[in-house]
Amino acid sequence: MPGLRTLALTVAVRGGARWETEAQSGWSHLLEHLVFKGAGDMGARDIVERIEAEGGSINAATGYERTSYEVRALDGSLPLAMQVVSDLVFRPRLDPAEIEREKDVVAQEIAEAFDTPDDHVFEMAQTRAFTGQPLGRPILGSVESLKPVDRASIEAWRARLYSPDRMVVAVSGSVDEDELLALSERWFGDAVAMPADAAQPATFVGGDAKLARRIEQANVVFQMPSLSATDPRLSSLRLFTEILGGGMASRLFQSAREDRGLAYAVDAYQEAYEETGIVGIYAGAAADRSVELAELCATEVVGLAEQGPTAAELSRAKAVLKGGLWMSDESPASRAGRIAAQTLIYGQLVSSEASAGRIDAATIDDLREVGQALIAPGVAATAVLGPKAANGAGAAFTRTLSRGA
């Protein structure tokens, strides 16, 4: 990106919680923590001090299908960034004492997620959506599943998870291509591939989860089975989701909050996995009005699916999605993360112009088609966390949705 004084490095691997057995639940996330406790000739403090001494920052994230390490730095810092991340993924110390200490840290993270209603309710819905499958287990795992982890087991998992044949090195910003290729060969070129088992196929199951708590507000999540990351209709689905609940002009915000005052926060979101996906709705509402809210949310889904959007809604949603696309193009970190993900998902890069073209090409009929596919199964994964008065919200959403199926 000409004219920039900074760069962004992303090292991403096609691997994460989806590849874990039930007994290994949370190991990928624990490993991501552990590598920062020491790698190569660096201790925990050395890792961050070396990056920050160059004006940079470093972070990592573990998901169901990808694990990534990210460095933002000033120009000229690529050699250091590549060396540090290479040490993290290939040469972590994995000290036994640090492993036990970090288990306690992750246990606190698990407890924090449980204590945060608008976090835990998503875990509840995910578990209902993919019951008994890796996609239905929390990425953090559990205290019980982390208990048996020792140096030998986590090192074996590291070798499988961070296998170079499933890894992408992506850099954007102030970067020289020849330097990048030479550094990639130096720091990643001699890594040994470890064959991994295929991820277990995912099947949307659905169901209703309820957890009563003495809190002021009910937190509700409604999820429906949807398209995979490689489905050619995905642009149409993103537009559908944007119109449904993507912003303040969306149908859900206008009907649930502005017109009827049922919720302070309400929005729709979309997640695409390798062979399946979900469209979900989150809302926080008064417990005694949660059933009414659930029925309204399902009614809006069915109405949009059956009638399609107005021309004005479609035009506005296209502008929003393209605006986000072009804005992310101006961020080195967004670019590096996006091209890494595209390489892992599609095996090639997809230009922003091509993505914008797909958005522009979507029609009202296309959105109606993906919407009808969304409601056709008549199933949902619902979660309600809060006062008992809200317990019926999940069943109300599914019942109303089924009438439109």
Beta-bridge partners for 13: 67, 167
The whole-angstrom separation of Cα 311 and Cα 384 is 35
The whole-angstrom separation of Cα 243 and Cα 281 is 12
The whole-angstrom separation of Cα 197 and Cα 265 is 41
- DSSP for 232-285 reads TTHHHHHHHHHHHHSSTTSHHIIIIIIIT--EEEEEEEEEE-SS-EEEEEEEEE
Rg (CA), the chain: 22
Mean pLDDT throughout 52-77? 96
Which pLDDT belongs to residue 196?
A: 76
Distances (CA, A) of 183 to 82, 92, 127: 7, 19, 41
187 near 259, Cβ under 8 Å? no
Q: For 330-345, what is each residue's pLDDT tens digit?
A: 999 999 999 999 999 9
The whole-angstrom separation of Cα 255 and Cα 351 is 36
Q: For 69-114, what is each residue's pLDDT tens digit?
A: 999 999 999 999 999 999 999 999 999 999 999 999 999 999 999 9
Read off the pLDDT band of 194 (50, 70, 90): confident
- The domain over range 207-404 is classified in CATH as 3.30.830.10: yes
The CATH number of the domain covering residues in 6-188 = 3.30.830.10
The whole-angstrom separation of Cα 3 and Cα 8 is 14
Which element (helix H / strand E) includes 34?
A: helix 27-35
Mean pLDDT throughout 36-59? 96
Which pLDDT belongs to residue 3?
A: 93
Three-state DSSP state, 262: coil
Which pLDDT belongs to residue 69?
A: 98
Tokens 């999820």 map to which residue? 223
Which element (helix H / strand E) includes 109?
A: helix 96-115
Torsion 146-96-157-112 (CA) sign: positive
Read off the pLDDT band of 263 (50, 70, 90): very high
Edge-to-edge strands, sheet with 57-62: 57-62, 66-74, 6-14, 167-173
* Burial readout 123-134 (b: 16 or more C-beta within 10 A, e: otherwise): bbbbbbbbbebb
Read off the pLDDT band of 405 (50, 70, 90): confident
Q: Hey, do 6-188 and 207-404 end up sharing a CATH topology, with the first three levels equal?
A: yes
pLDDT tops 90 at residue 367: yes
In this structure, the number of other CB atoms found within 10 A of the CB of residue 298 comes to 24
pTM: 0.95
pLDDT tops 90 at residue 201: no
Which pLDDT belongs to residue 80?
A: 97
pLDDT tops 80 at residue 6: yes
Nearest of 382, 135, 205, 378 to residue 281 by alpha carbon:
382
For the chain, domain boundaries: 6-188, 207-404
